[in-house]
Amino acid sequence: MRGNQVDATDLEIVDALQHNPRASWAAVARALGLAEVTVARRWRLLEQQRLVWVSAALHPEVSLGAFLEVSCEPRAVERIAAALAEHPDMITVGRTTGDFQIFAILLAGDLASLLQRIGTGLPELGEAVRVRQSLFRRLHGGVHWRQGIIPAAAAEQLTPRLPELVSSPPPISAEDRALFRTLNTDGRLTAAEVAERIGSSRPAIARRLTQLEGSRQLLFRCDVARPLFDLPLGMLLWLRAPDRLASEIAAALGAWTETRLCAVTIGSSNIVLIVGLHDLADAEQRLIRIAQDHPQVEVVDRRLITRMMKVYGRILDEQGRGARAVPVDPWASGCIEPP
């Protein structure tokens, strides 16, 4: 890389890590035909420039939460968005065009906590002119976003071999929450490093990591400074689908490589979709594809995302670079103790 500009080799390395965020440098080097020292050095430079980061994530099927939209006076936009981004259970915050200037994604450990949080637990929303809240019980897409650059054989070589998932994963237990928060800050920490940070032993952490990854309770994602990776924009869509097809359509939309989030919500518009864009022409292509693939779907509202301020626990600067972590903690405001 040169300055903040990434080159083709950087893109391949990042794509490899998006397939397997905790892959060893040796495994990445073999898959890409590079020297291990080259892979490690280039990744370290990308990290130092705050262009890439790896973090732990919850499985989409156990991601209960709310999609918030905030309308406010222009002078209050930056202040409200920044305040929302500081909450550890507010995983993502962005700014959009249209009637609502801010959107935010909130995760919670249980329904009672979620209702309390959106009811009275966000005092900064007192400045808002209008707030719209849409609840969801699971997410589709976004965790495993990939650029699709490396050859299929290399991707197959890097893909982790995990046990087949026969049922939805259970939620993260209270005992594993400190481990999750630590790995959300830095998803490539070794078992020994995690153990040192949370006061455990390396064998115990290694064992729990194996179990949590095998059950899909714990996933890992590799994020990038999107504007510097030719993804300067995003699009937020509200869709209306027949209720009996909403989950099926959301799953299909969530599987798109450009999807950042898709969820079925309760409301007249029952699917929210966020996709990344290379340019404005991309927006037209996404809308055309929805019409072709899902003719029964109505696009109710469409907005451009002009800036992401936080992405899954990472505060971003104006160029989309990771500035600092606010570890994701859906249980931060829980009003019910776990059994």
Q: What is the pLDDT of residues 187-230, one digit of tens each?
A: 999 999 999 999 999 999 999 999 999 999 999 999 999 998 88
Question: What is the DSSP secondary structure assignment for residue 169, as one 8-state letter?
Answer: P
Q: Pick from 250, 241, 296: which is nearest to 269 by CA?
A: 241
Other CB atoms within 10 Å distance of the CB of residue 225: 23
| C-alpha separations of 184 from 24, 180, 213, 311 in Å | 18, 6, 14, 11
Q: How many residues does the chain have?
A: 339
Paired strand residues for 102: 70, 95
Residue 205's identity, in one-letter code, is I
**pLDDT per residue as tens digits for the range 120-132:** 999 999 999 999 9
Q: What is the mean pLDDT of the chain?
A: 93
User: Does residue 335 have a pLDDT over 60?
Assistant: no
DSSP helix/strand/coil, 262: strand
DSSP helix/strand/coil, 270: coil
Say what the pLDDT of residue 336 is.
Answer: 37
Dihedral sign from CA coordinates of 198, 199, 203, 204: negative
Say what the pLDDT of residue 333 is.
Answer: 74
**pLDDT per residue as tens digits for the range 62-104:** 899 999 999 999 999 999 999 999 999 999 999 999 999 999 9
Residue ranges and CATH numbers for the domains of the chain are: 162-214 (1.10.10)
Provide the token pair at 297: 């779907």
User: Does residue 337 have a pLDDT over 60?
Assistant: no
**Residue 93 phi, psi dihedral angles, 5° rounding:** -140, 135
Q: Pick from 208, 243, 239, 276: which is nearest to 18 by CA?
A: 276
Mean pLDDT across 160-182: 86
Residues sharing a CB contact under 8 Å with residue 291, sequence separation 6 or more, in sequence order: 297
Cα–Cα distance, 136 to 212 (Å, whole number): 24
Say what the pLDDT of residue 160 is.
Answer: 85
DSSP helix/strand/coil, 21: coil
Provide the token pair at 246: 């909403």
Cα–Cα distance, 115 to 132 (Å, whole number): 13
Say what the pLDDT of residue 146 is.
Answer: 77
- Place 143 in a pLDDT band, splitting at 50, 70 and 90: confident
- Place 167 in a pLDDT band, splitting at 50, 70 and 90: confident
Cα–Cα distance, 31 to 23 (Å, whole number): 11
Q: Residue 50: left if φ>0, alpha if ψ -120 to 50, beta else—which one?
A: left
CB-CB contact of 323 with 316 (8 Å): yes
Other CB atoms within 10 Å distance of the CB of residue 243: 9
Cα–Cα distance, 150 to 132 (Å, whole number): 40
**Residue 134 phi, psi dihedral angles, 5° rounding:** -130, 120
